[in-house]
């Protein structure tokens, strides 16, 4: 017994052997979100155009539901998310059933759950950079290897190259439409052709978080392809259109076979009372959704025209943001804009070195951003 105790004490002193830790978790793959709002001198207004947040805030109906729910915070929330999934069925005009949906704490957690249920050590996923960081960070935690098939120079998916990269180890392909941070989208006919040619052993994870803002005639969500039984999972979030980024609510929908499988790992009491009530109320407030979409589309036209007049290079976008090639180095540009009270996001870590993403805000915020750009172009920094 004394020898065993001595051995245990030695282990305590030395710590765990390095083999105890998974190397792919030890790698630095933590997703770091955008910065908090900067503090400026009194009288200088700050416009946060760095995180694609809703410039209108969030629904008053959601606020009322959340406030009411605070009266029962001592009680556990619903054991399941069934009421939220029922609200989603209505929002999708009853084209899907409650069993087609899976909800979680944010779209990011949906990515994490998908990674857990479909990936193992040695599997491969395919991404196209620039892209949302959790695609690679979260899948790496499962031991999967991310294969990057870069976007074209015009920031379009090279779907043929992606198909050529598929191997027997490929389990997931991440596509986003509109894509963050580039704003590009996948036309419906191209997505259909891609899915037709894709092996049945591979699942497409289709991030459509920004779908409400797209207005291209050939834009498509994943819905028609889910209804036809293709292996595709659509990721959605309440953080953008609904303005509930602080509540962390997201969901996905897919075929019944896939969704029923994914839901098996969902924990009871997963969503908080505030998240449940806020999300359900937000889905019902179609007026707020319409006002948000109208604002983003109107301000998108305004900002892109302003950038065009200033001679700033940018790429077409269907999202609530635009990717630009700044006239000076990206970090210097970000620092200059912050001095003017404008927060923007350099996206080198997304796979677009030197580029900057700017969210669309209110007219006042967008005018301030364009005026700051004018000041830069007239400065000694150029």
pLDDT of residue 202: 98
For the chain, what is the mean pLDDT?
92
What is the DSSP code (8-state) at residue 55?
T
The pLDDT value recorded for residue 267 is 84
Segment 109-116 shows an average pLDDT of: 95
Give 138-184 pLDDT, tens digit per residue.
888 888 999 999 999 999 999 999 999 999 999 999 999 999 999 99
Strand segments, DSSP code E, in the chain are 47-48, 101-104, 124-127, 145-148, 170-176, 203-207, 232-237, 250-253, 313-314, 321-325, 342-343, 345-346, 356-359
CB 258 within 8 A of CB 203: yes
What CATH number has the domain spanning 32-56+287-377? 3.90.1150.10
What's residue 325's pLDDT? 98
In the chain, CATH 3.90.1150.10 sits at 32-56+287-377
Alpha carbon distances (Å) from 189 to 85, 215, 276, 305, 341: 29, 16, 36, 29, 42
The first and second tokens of residue 236, run together, are: 């959605």
Instruction: Give pTM, 2 decimals.
Output: 0.90
pLDDT tens for each residue of 26-51: 565 555 555 666 665 666 689 999 99
Q: Where are the beta strands (DSSP E) in 170-279?
A: 170-176, 203-207, 232-237, 250-253
What is the structure's pLDDT at 142?
A: 86
- The per-residue pLDDT for range 245-275, each reduced to its tens digit, is 999 999 999 999 999 999 999 888 889 999 9
**Residue-wise pLDDT tens digits, 191-210:** 999 999 999 999 999 999 99
Q: Which CATH class is domain 60-284?
A: alpha beta
What pLDDT does 269 receive?
82
pLDDT at 23: 64
Phi, psi of 43 (to 5 degrees): 95, -15
Name the pLDDT band for 8 (thresholds 50, 70, 90). low
The confidence score (pLDDT) of residue 45 equals: 85
Query: Does the pLDDT of residue 10 top 60, yes or no?
Result: no
| pLDDT(18) > 70 | no
Where do the CATH 3.40.640.10 domains begin and end in the chain? 60-284
Q: Which two tokens stand for residue 65?
A: 């539901």
Question: What pLDDT is stored for residue 268 in this prediction?
Answer: 82
Q: What is the mean pLDDT of residues 91-106?
A: 97
């Amino acid at each position: 017994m004394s020898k065993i105790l001595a051995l245990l004490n030695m282990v305590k002193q030395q710590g765990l052997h390095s083999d105890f830790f998974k190397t792919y978790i030890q790698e630095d793959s933590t997703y770091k979100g955008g910065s908090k709002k900067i503090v400026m001198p009194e009288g200088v207004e700050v416009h946060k155009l760095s995180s694609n947040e809703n410039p209108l805030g969030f629904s008053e109906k959601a606020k009322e539901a959340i406030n009411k729910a605070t009266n029962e915070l001592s009680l556990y929330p619903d054991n399941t998310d069934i009421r939220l999934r029922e609200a989603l069925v209505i929002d999708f005009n009853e084209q899907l059933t409650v069993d087609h949906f899976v909800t979680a704490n944010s779209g990011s957690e949906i990515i994490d759950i998908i990674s857990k249920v479909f990936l193992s050590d040695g599997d491969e996923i395919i991404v196209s950079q620039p892209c949302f960081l959790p695609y690679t960070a979260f899948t790496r935690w499962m031991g999967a290897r991310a294969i990057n098939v870069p976007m074209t120079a015009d920031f379009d998916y090279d779907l043929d190259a992606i198909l050529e990269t598929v191997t027997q180890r490929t389990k997931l392909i991440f596509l986003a439409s509109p894509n963050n941070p580039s704003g590009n989208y996948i036309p419906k006919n191209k997505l259909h052709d891609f899915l037709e040619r894709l092996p049945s052993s591979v699942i497409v994870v289709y991030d459509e978080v920004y779908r409400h803002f797209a207005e291209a005639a050939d834009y498509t969500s994943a819905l028609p392809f889910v209804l036809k039984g293709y292996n595709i999972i659509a990721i959605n979030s309440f953080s953008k259109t609904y303005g509930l980024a602080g509540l962390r609510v997201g969901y996905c929908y897919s075929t019944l076979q896939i969704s029923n499988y994914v839901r098996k790992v969902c924990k009871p009491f997963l969503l908080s009372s505030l998240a449940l009530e806020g999300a359900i109320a937000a889905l019902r407030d179609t007026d707020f959704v319409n006002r948000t979409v109208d604002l983003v589309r109107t301000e998108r036209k305004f900002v892109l025209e302003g950038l065009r007049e200033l001679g700033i290079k940018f790429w077409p976008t269907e999202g609530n943001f635009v990717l630009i090639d700044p006239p000076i180095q990206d970090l210097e540009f970000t620092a200059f804009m912050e001095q003017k009270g404008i927060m923007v996001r350099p996206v080198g870590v997304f796979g677009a070195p030197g580029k900057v993403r700017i969210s669309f805000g209110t007219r006042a915020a967008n005018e301030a951003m364009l005026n700051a750009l004018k000041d830069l172009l007239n400065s000694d920094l150029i």
